[in-house]
Amino acid sequence: MATIAPNPAAASQRYNRNRRSQLAIWWQEIDRTTLVLVLILMAIGAVAVAAGSPASARRLSTSAERLSQLHFFYLHMRWQIIGLIAMFWASTLTKDNARRFGILLGGAMLVALVLVPLVGSEVNGAKRWLRFGISLQPSEFLKCGFPILLAWILSWRARDPNIPVVGLCFGLMGLLGALLMLQPDFGSTMLFSGAFLVLILLSGIELKRIGMFFGAGIAGLVLMYFTYDNGRNRIDNFLFGGTAFDQVDLAQRTILNGGWTGLGFWMGTRKLALPEAHTDYIFSVIGEEFGLLACMIIVILYLAILTRVILRLVEEEDLFTVLAASGFAAQFGGQAFINILVNLQLFPSKGMTLPLISYGGSSTVAMCLSMGLLLAVTRRNPFIKREKFSLRAIGESQ
């Protein structure tokens, strides 16, 4: 009996058709508006890092090595390319695969946080990095898995109300807070605590337990104030004022120096005194060189992303999707507005980057991966009819 030899050309055509079909489905199901807004912020970030790079390069240059004016811009573009690859890959995952990946990543980063106090590298008095050939900050990549891990646990209540998910989540948050403060990293502790609060509120937790959480948070703040010198100094400087050379004071004077329209690209002068012009205080560099109007546009873009995520979830019926997406939005928005408030001298300094805009290695890749997972868990079949969101309907239901 004769056998038919396989046709490589036909197999290749079938593979290409299948691949195009998968890409077409992905394009139809993801939230394209959020994707475009994220890409706009990343483009702004590339220009902003180019503006802040000369100041940081000058400060970090030595007699032995003089850094190029665009040293950090070139590095940032490499990290952005890696971040874009990570974001688009994550966004192609199905909701189930995104959940599995987030749970595994969150668990792995918790284990890595346990290793940080033991074998981590110390920089500027904080031990936050693991170095195994490459430098890894576990707390940054934990942001990719934490909302999914917590949402997965809280969603168990929908199947069995008797499962003690609240106790498990409080225990997980307590462990995470302890591991972060061992570094110490008070800023990340606050950020994760805020996301945790949003998720437990959405899951329908009793008010009594919410009060216990606030009580524990206040006790933690008091303990931090008396045991963490750097945190105490930052709070004191914020409440009682510091010197004219404090970082937040320099940042405020830099952002106001450009007026409404800015001094122009590479025309800023006060940015040269900023210690982290390309990372923590890049919002001030934008204000000086491109003006307060540009800063307002950036704030509007952040608000647009958060609003878009909320509107996307209005008609969502899956509890896991609502919780996971809300957790990602809380982390993203919380980090953005803490950074902005620090630059405006309205919040104590936290050493927190501006998402998708600041220069960063692991932080840039981790933020892009988080946005990719957000796009994955909010994927939706566009052919399923849903009621449109209406503000009038909200008013009539109250």
Our CA dihedral for 301, 307, 311, 314, rounded to 10 degrees, sits at: 160
| Band of pLDDT at residue 228, cut at 50, 70 and 90 | low
**Model pLDDT, residue 265:** 86
Which helix (DSSP H) or strand (DSSP E) does residue 204 occupy?
none
**Model pLDDT, residue 315:** 78
pLDDT at residue 304 greater than cutoff 70: yes
What's the whole-number mean pLDDT along residues 64-70?
83
| Band of pLDDT at residue 391, cut at 50, 70 and 90 | very low
Give buried/exposed letters for 264-295 (b at 16+ CB in 10 A, else e).
Answer: eeeebebbeebebbbbbbbbbbbbbbbbbebb
**Model pLDDT, residue 65:** 80
Average pLDDT, the chain: 82
**Model pLDDT, residue 390:** 43
**Model pLDDT, residue 227:** 66
| Band of pLDDT at residue 398, cut at 50, 70 and 90 | very low
What's the whole-number mean pLDDT along residues 145-157?
90
Interacting residues of 119 by C-beta distance below 8 A, sequence separation 6+: 130
Closest CA to 172 of 156, 158, 151: 151
Residues 113-141: pLDDT tens digits? 888 887 777 766 667 777 776 778 888 89
Residues 352-368: pLDDT tens digits? 889 999 998 888 999 99
| Band of pLDDT at residue 5, cut at 50, 70 and 90 | low
What's the whole-number mean pLDDT along residues 75-98?
94
Residues 187-219: pLDDT tens digits? 888 899 889 988 888 877 666 666 766 676 677
**Model pLDDT, residue 252:** 80
Q: Where are the domains of the chain?
A: 42-59+72-379
pLDDT at residue 244 greater than cutoff 50: no
**Model pLDDT, residue 26:** 84
Closest CA to 322 of 199, 229, 236: 199
| Band of pLDDT at residue 274, cut at 50, 70 and 90 | confident
**Model pLDDT, residue 69:** 87
Residues 337-352: pLDDT tens digits? 999 988 888 777 777 8
Q: Of 99-108, 154-163, 183-192, 273-282, which one has max mean pLDDT? A: 99-108
- CA 365/CA 277 separation, integer angstroms: 20
Q: Which tokens go with 356?
A: 């998708």
**Model pLDDT, residue 393:** 42
Is the distance from CB of 129 to CB of 183 less than 8 angstroms?
A: no
| Band of pLDDT at residue 180, cut at 50, 70 and 90 | confident
pLDDT at residue 2 greater than cutoff 60: no
Interacting residues of 319 by C-beta distance below 8 A, sequence separation 6+: 151, 154, 155, 157, 158, 203
204: left (phi over 0), alpha (psi -120 to 50) or beta: left
Q: Which residues pair with 131 in a beta bridge?
A: 135
**Model pLDDT, residue 134:** 72
With H, G, I as helix, E, B as strand and everything else as coil, classify residue 126.
Answer: strand
**Model pLDDT, residue 214:** 67
How big is the CA angle at 177 (ends 171 and 180), to the nearest 5 degrees? 140
**Model pLDDT, residue 236:** 63
**Model pLDDT, residue 128:** 77
